[in-house]
Structure formats: C-alpha cells, structure tokens
Amino acid sequence: MDTEALKKYSALHPKPAGLTLQYGTAGFRTKAEQLDHVMFRMGLLAVLRSKAVASTIGIMVTASHNPEEDNGVKLVDPLGEMLHPSWEEYATQLANAEEQELQKIITEICQKAAVNQHKDASVFIGRDTRPSSEKLSQSVIDGISVLGGQYHDYGLVTTPQLHYMVCCQNTRGQYGKATLEGYYEKLSKAFTELIKKVNSPSSGEGQRHLKIDCANGIGALKLSEMEPYFPKEVQIHLYNDGTKEKLNHLCGADFVKVHQKPPRGLDMNPNERCCSFDGDADRIVYYYKDTTGHFHLIDGDKIATLISIFLKELLAKVGQTLKMAVVQTAYANGSSTRYLEQTLKVPVHCVKTGVKHLHHKAQEFDVGVYFEANGHGTVLFSKAAETKIRQLAKEEEDDEKREAAKVLENMIDLINQVADRRVIDTTDAERRAVTPPGLQEKIDALVKKYKLSRAFVRPSGTEDVVRIYAEAETQEAADALAHEVSLAVYHLAGGRGAPPQP
C-alpha cells in the first residue's frame, strides 16, 4: 500500500468531523453532501474485498427510492449478491475511521479477512441519474485507484444491470455477456420465447401495451435502449422519464405502494396494465384501474403469489419433485401468506427486511421465490434444479413435459436471479419490538381491537424514519390502527415535532 498516496487522496475526501454513519438495509444512505468520504472509502473496501475473494466486485452509486437530494452506495458481491454480511462491519469501520486511523483500519481488515494485498483487484462501477451521482462515483474511482485496483465504469445503469455485469464477469461469460447489449439480448430473448407460450389478452391489433412510470430515474433511459430488443407486439409507454420532474417525487414504486394510488403524470384507462419502477429500477409494482374506477395494486406479495402459481403448475407438468418455497418479510399481507400456505400449499418463510436476508433464505430451496411487498424480488433456482430443467428442455421425449421445461428455462433466463432510528429494536423477523419498554404491549392491545389485524414497527435502514405497518379487515380499520400505533411510537419512543396526524 502506498501510504503517502493514501494520505494525500483521503485528505481530498475528508470525513466531516464527528459524522458517524451506519451500514443500513442496503449499504450507506444519507444526504449526498455527507457521502464523499464514504464513496472514496467504499472504493478502498471494494479493492480489499476483490483481493479477498479473487473476483470482481461491484459498486452502485444510488439511493434508490430516497429523495433526489440523498445518495448512497450498494456493494455487489461476486455472483451478483449483496455484500456478505461479515464485511458490513468492515465497511462501517472504514466509513467512520478518522483520517489518521485509515491506514491502520485497512491493515486490520486485511489481517482479519485474510486479504492478500499483492493480489489484483477489479471493481465494476455504476450510478443512477441523481445530480450528485457522477461526482460521487469519481470519489469511488479515487479510492479504487489509490489501492492499485482496476475498474470499469459502466456509468449510468440500473442496479440489476450492474449486478448482472458482475455475475457475468465472475462466471467468465457463462451467465451472459458483461455488456448492456448482452443484458438486453439475454433478457429479451427469454421474454420473447416466454410470451409466445403464455396466453394473455391483447388489444385488437394483437398488441400488448404497458404503461411504465420510471420514477424520473434511470429506468427510462435503459428501457428506451432496450425497447428495440422487445417483440413487436409489446408496446411500452414511458412516463416520468426524468425530463421534467424530480426523481421519485410523487411517483415511483415506493410512492405507489405506500399511497396505494397511481403516480403523478400517468393517466390510467380502465384495465390498462401499468407499472412503476423505483429510482434505480430494482423494484417493480403493477397496477390497474377496473371499470368502476377502483385502483388495484399488484405488489410484491401478489407478484410472488402469481409466480408461485405459475411455477407450481409448470413443476407439476415436468414431473420433478423440486422443493419450492416463498420467502417474505413482516410487511407481507397476512392474506397472501395464508393463501400461499393454505390454498397453494407452498411453505412460506419470514425473514428480516432487506433483499440480502430474503436472498439468503431462498437459496435453501430448489426453487426459492422471494419478494418484499415493496416490489424487490426474484426467483432462485438451485444449480441442480437449473441443470435438470435445461436437460429436460433439451432431451425429454414427452412433448408436454419438454414444453413445460422450456418455459421454466426461459423463466430462469429472464429472471436475472442475481441478488442477490435505533431506539426501536426488534425481534422475530422484525415483527415484535423489544425496546422501548411497553411499546410491543401497547401494539398488541391495539391490534386486539381490530378484526383480522396485524401491526408492527421497525426503524428504517435507508431513511431516518420509523416504519409502521398495519393491516385489518377494511381500509378504514387499517388506517385507524396505523394511526393509533404511530401515536404509541410517538409517545413511547420519544417522537419529535407534532404528534402524527391520521
């Protein structure tokens, strides 16, 4: 390590005095102006991680669904999963080290994680469309370069695209070509094959239309690039493409999910298919309006359920006894869990919020469907299941079985199955609060007042807020319960400002 260069460059990316940041649900995330030193240091960390695992590591500069003024960083491990939890602590140590300690911390990490400093390092970088992202990705590059790492800057890409590039690179092209063209070709080919086999209503001219709210983010740019690869009968219409309004403002998957209403700037006619991405296009939720004007949201719970029904039918057709399960978080609506378990007879597991937790659990099954209610998710096929399916798609003599295996094969190729407020502390997959004292008891008492209800609270790991979840038999009851729980949080957890309003 060139200690003089490290000193010189870290002084160019100084840490604001007294600032301590926590590694959150998906990495560091806060106001963009507080992140320059973090980006530089995550460049350092990526080099160390790359040396430790002798593979390419990814760094995505994005704050996803957060407001435009925020920014953040997501680290991508060799097969496209999120950074291994054992390294989150190193990331926190590096991000919070005072300048004079930086070198010492790097040496300590190298010792603890058995990093061979003489190995080569390679890092892929991507960024979203936030005004602050370009400069922050330059700080990442400074961090990589000062430790002698090689990098490839993909510039503006979606988070799933960067995950894909990293996975392609580390599987030496087995997963696909590590280029945007490779990404568009692989996904559109699988998609084209799939929709040939799936009956779905189309408009008079045999066309399928989809209105897409791009959250004024990167999704708009990348979908425009991808459109020429789509089959002709699929017509996409982009809204909130970032040319006029601010990122995530009154639009995007998070807004639609939280407010249960369409985004600004997208007019829906009855039964038109619509969907929303978030700011880095790694979440999707679908929705439509029926002929009576009622809004229907197809969130992660419903997507997981629909995919499970589809997969279960196909797996039965191919006649394989593959173990399938669904992974959810505490936010999953109770009726979706009941439907999956009781009607569909698919086992359901509940884990903590964060794609990394769901991904990890889903890896335990032959086919692991995981979705967060907010629209993050995918399906994981174990290597053995994938090999079997590909073999059946090629060699099976029974026509029906072979066709079903081909559909599954296209699913595998389309899914892009790479991964993957601190006063309130929680347990039981975040469904129960252990601190502050009395809060959980209060919530339990409130829940008893409403039929078919559930509620829980947890500190967000991406924003400076406490999230409150409530469900009940009717919308009014759920709203009332949410308000009562928010008042309990306000009083028992030291809420600031005016009490929450209904």
Binding site for ligand G16 (CB under 6 A): 25-26, 64-65, 278, 282-283, 353-355, 372, 374, 376, 460-463, 467
- Closest contact distance (angstroms) between CB of 307 and ligand G16 is 18
Best CA proximity match to 32, nearest among 46, 21, 44: 21
Which residue number, 372 or 484, has a Cβ lying nearer to ligand G16?
A: 372
Chain CA centroid to CA 184, Å: 19
Which residue number, 65 or 454, has a Cβ lying nearer to ligand G16?
A: 65
Residue 476 annotated in ligand binding: no
What are the DSSP calls for 51-94, one per residue? HHHTSEEEEEE--TTS-TTEEEEEEE-TTSPBPPHHHHHHHHHH
Residue 133 annotated in ligand binding: no
Residue 374 annotated in ligand binding: yes
Which residue number, 65 or 130, has a Cβ lying nearer to ligand G16?
A: 65
Instruction: Read off the tokens for 254.
Output: 């998070």
Token pair 């425009």 is found at: 224
Q: How far is CA 410 from CA 95, 147, 316, in A?
A: 41, 41, 17
Residue 444 annotated in ligand binding: no
122: annotated active-site residue: no
- Closest contact distance (angstroms) between CB of 180 and ligand G16 is 21
Token pair 């800057």 is found at: 153
Which residue number, 147 or 285, has a Cβ lying nearer to ligand G16?
A: 285
Token pair 């008891």 is found at: 441
Residue 278 annotated in ligand binding: yes
Contacts 24+ apart (CB under 8 A), 435-438: 436/492, 436/493, 436/494, 437/492, 438/492
Residue 425 annotated in ligand binding: no
- Closest contact distance (angstroms) between CB of 12 and ligand G16 is 28
- Do residues 248 and 63 lie in contact, with contact meaning Cβ atoms separated by under 8 Å? no
Token pair 């979203």 is found at: 128
Among 10, 64, 308, 453, the active-site one is: 64
Residue 64 annotated in ligand binding: yes
Residue 460 annotated in ligand binding: yes
| φ, ψ of residue 21 in degrees (nearest 5) | -120, 150
Q: What is the DSSP letter of 435?
A: E
- Altogether, the residues listed in the chain come to a count of 502
CB atoms within 10 A of CB 246: 16
| φ, ψ of residue 300 in degrees (nearest 5) | -55, -35
- Closest contact distance (angstroms) between CB of 253 and ligand G16 is 8
Q: Output Rg (C-alpha) for the chain, integer angstroms.
A: 23
- Closest contact distance (angstroms) between CB of 119 and ligand G16 is 29
Integer Cα distance of 456 and 426 in angstroms = 9
- Closest contact distance (angstroms) between CB of 246 and ligand G16 is 17
Which residue number, 21 or 344, has a Cβ lying nearer to ligand G16?
A: 21
Q: How far is CA 487 from CA 159, 431, 482, in A?
A: 36, 18, 9
Which residue number, 80 or 354, has a Cβ lying nearer to ligand G16?
A: 354
Residues marked as binding for Mg(2+)? 64, 278, 280, 282
Residue positions annotated with a catalytic role = 64
Q: Which residues are annotated as a binding site?
A: 64, 278, 280, 282, 372-374, 458-462, 467
